[in-house]
Copies of this chain bind each other. A is one copy, B any other.
Amino acid sequence: MEMEIHSVCLPPKQTTLQKLKHKLTEVFFPDDPLYRFKNQTWCKKLLLGLQFFFPIFQWGPEYNLSLLRSDVISGLTIASLAIPQGISYAKLANLPPIIGLYSSFVPPLIYSNLGSSRHLAVGPVSIASLVMGSMLSETVSFTQDPILYLKLAFTATFFAGLFQASLGLLRLGFVIDFLSKATLVGFMAGAAIIVSLQQLKGLLGIVHFTTRMQLIPVMSSVFKHKNEWSWQTIVMGLSFLVFLLITRNISMRKPKLFWVSAAAPLTSVIISTILVFCLKSKAHGISVIGNLPKGLNPPSSNMLYFNGQYLGLAIKTGLVTGILSLTEGIAVGRTFAALQNYQVDGNKEMMAIGFMNMAGSCTSCFVTTGSFSRSAINYNAGAQTAVSNIIMAATVLVTLLFLMPLFHYTPNVILASIIITAVIGLIDYQAAFRLWKVDKLDFLACLCSFFGVLFISVPLGLGIAVGVSVFKILLHVTRPNTVVLGNIPGTQLYQSLNRYKETLRIPSFLILAIESPMYFANCTYLQERILRWVREEEERVKANNENTLNYVILDMTAVTAIDTSGIEMVCELQKMLDKRSLQIVLANPTGNVMEKLHKSKVLESFESNSLYITVGEAITDITTTWKAQP
């Protein structure tokens, strides 16, 4: 068979500076965010810049009445959900309920100017509220020192915002990618269980309850205070819980009936408030929210706490809640953007969420982000632009100004039912089952974060889960696959002997595909493993009386990078095989591997015919030369 042999090229020469620039662009600007600005006039560039930083200028000019109609409907719908949830989540974070309403007013207004998602419904969310409550109350008691607690909450919110905005500004958005889906499935489920169990306090009417968050102390606290259980509370709580779960179920089966579950919480609040008001002389066991101050968000920048012994706690809480709320906000934004085929810019979203939280921390708000459940209802209700957030904020404004006294008799138990209904959807056992089926290690990461959150603590559970995910990457790098290849007869294709049954070994050749970069972390392993393949092949050849082994071909297609340890390994391997009169041949090294092999001058110690563009050409060329020899 006659065949042209192609030589292996080096990639085009680049200076270190060019390479650095290229690498930095890939790391920080993979999406080339400024491509719209290229080849534009100055005036156009200015407009584009304005649109870039304030997406409202992008869709604002084209806004019309029909869009407004949709946005008003969806805005009112999410407002009816945001008011009871806001109050509930504030309680989850051990904050005064009014803070929840404040947080549903200012942040949505800011987001609607800066954010690029059209469907995100902004406000407090369960996970971030829970984490903030659990982390702060571990050190500071919210009953004994409520002012300090409030200060720390605002400060944590400020740092959360600062952290989020910096991630966006510095284009380090990939940090949140390290919370893999698998980790989040476990984390969310664990957190949902923790949150639900915490609600037993409200649901059973217990007064003295543990502030700890783990499964065991919470359950023991529930049964230790059996004497505090109030049957009126339990009956009311359970009946509304059942009502809410049924409405939730209806909406899930028929997405068109989204308004059923959207209206249910406010309906429950209204009915239960009226009930308690009517029975107030008889129902002493049922605790109520009590007086809420009327009026708009008071400024709180004077409450930020920048020095003192709790600063570290505030920063830590800010970081953890910041990254969690960011993850939720970005994921929600991406999900709905994908459904409507538009793109949200992760880094810009981070800045929007970050600025909104920094502004929030100065106007008596705690951590807010895009909530999954409310965004879904927003989407289903037909929201078209961020104006639905403005409508929601306006509704909350009206509530804050005029309707606060109405919440006086709202029972706490109803808030507990609302929270349980909201978080129960976070337990995605089907996703966990899918993980088990497709990827066992992902399932393990999921389990770790689940049990970590349930039994240890929220931040540690999260840390463990990230650790498992990173360990998985390292394990893959540390113990890469090596596959023996064979030829598919009649072709130039070389594929795994084990996988493609029709493949045949080539006598005198051992062809190994290395399926990973060659790094310090795996070069000892790779060397041992390759030598073992060679030993086993030699034994097999001997046992079957075949031609002796002469060439070891390493298919380097999947070796996408090599470091100095890897280069040394290749060099050493070449020497060791040489001593056994085996020649090593490299097939298809990728650009930067080739460049490094060239720079380190390793190839100079190789035979002349030991570098080919494909395994096929290597074998053709070597056998031809071989036969030509006497």
Q: Which residues of A contact B (CB under 8 A)?
A: 4, 6, 9-12, 16, 19-20, 26-27, 30-32, 174, 177-178, 180-183, 338, 341, 343, 346, 434-435, 437-442, 469-470, 472-481, 483, 488, 490-493, 495-496, 498-501, 515-517, 519-525, 528-529, 531-532, 557-558, 560-561, 563-565, 567-568, 572, 575-576, 579, 590-592, 596, 599-600, 613-614
Least distance between A524 CB and chain B CB atoms (Å): 5
Least distance between A493 CB and chain B CB atoms (Å): 7
Partner of A613, one of B476, B495, B525: B495
CB atoms of B499 and A11 under 8 A apart: yes
CB atoms of A614 and B520 under 8 A apart: no
CB atoms of A521 and B9 under 8 A apart: no
Given contacts A6-B491, A180-B563, A520-B182, contact A599 B438 (CB under 8 A): yes
Given contacts A4-B490, A174-B478, A475-B27, contact A564 B182 (CB under 8 A): yes
Given contacts A180-B521, A438-B564, A474-B470, contact A11 B498 (CB under 8 A): yes
* Chain B contacts for A9, CB-based, 8 A: 499-501
Least distance between A445 CB and chain B CB atoms (Å): 9
CB atoms of A439 and B564 under 8 A apart: yes
* Chain B contacts for A564, CB-based, 8 A: 181-182, 434-435, 438-439, 442
Partner of A481, one of B491, B560, B568: B560
Partner of A596, one of B439, B475, B532: B439
Find the B residue at minimum CB distance from A596: B438
CB atoms of A442 and B473 under 8 A apart: no
Least distance between A473 CB and chain B CB atoms (Å): 6
CB atoms of B30 and A520 under 8 A apart: no
The distance in angstroms between the C-alpha atoms of A617 and B396, with both chains bound, is 61
Given contacts A524-B174, A579-B341, contact A591 B499 (CB under 8 A): yes
* Chain B contacts for A495, CB-based, 8 A: 613
Given contacts A499-B11, A599-B437, contact A469 B516 (CB under 8 A): no
Partner of A498, one of B12, B182, B434: B12
Find the B residue at minimum CB distance from A502: B6
Find the B residue at minimum CB distance from A476: B561
The distance in angstroms between the C-alpha atoms of A442 and B564, with both chains bound, is 7
CB atoms of B174 and A434 under 8 A apart: no
CB atoms of A572 and B499 under 8 A apart: no
CB atoms of A12 and B499 under 8 A apart: yes
Least distance between A527 CB and chain B CB atoms (Å): 9
The distance in angstroms between the C-alpha atoms of A491 and B524, with both chains bound, is 37
Task: From A442, A473, A477, name the one whose CB has the most chain B CB atoms within 10 angstroms.
Answer: A473
CB atoms of B473 and A477 under 8 A apart: yes
CB atoms of A524 and B478 under 8 A apart: no
CB atoms of A520 and B567 under 8 A apart: no
* Chain B contacts for A529, CB-based, 8 A: 30-31
CB atoms of A521 and B177 under 8 A apart: yes
The distance in angstroms between the C-alpha atoms of A472 and B566, with both chains bound, is 14
* Chain B contacts for A183, CB-based, 8 A: 520
* Further contacts, 10 of them, CB under 8 A, given A4-B490, A341-B579: A11-B499, A12-B498, A177-B523, A180-B520, A338-B572, A438-B599, A439-B564, A441-B563, A557-B558, A558-B590
Find the B residue at minimum CB distance from A531: B343
Given contacts A6-B493, A560-B515, contact A524 B346 (CB under 8 A): yes
Find the B residue at minimum CB distance from A19: B440
* Chain B contacts for A481, CB-based, 8 A: 560, 590, 592
* Chain B contacts for A498, CB-based, 8 A: 11-12, 591
The distance in angstroms between the C-alpha atoms of A491 and B616, with both chains bound, is 12
30 pairs from A and B in contact (CB 8 Å cutoff):
A6-B488, A9-B501, A10-B499, A11-B498, A27-B479, A30-B525, A32-B532, A177-B521, A177-B522, A180-B519, A181-B520, A181-B564, A182-B564, A338-B575, A434-B564, A439-B564, A470-B470, A472-B519, A472-B563, A481-B592, A483-B591, A493-B613, A496-B591, A498-B591, A499-B591, A515-B560, A557-B558, A558-B558, A558-B560, A558-B590
* Chain B contacts for A590, CB-based, 8 A: 481, 515, 558
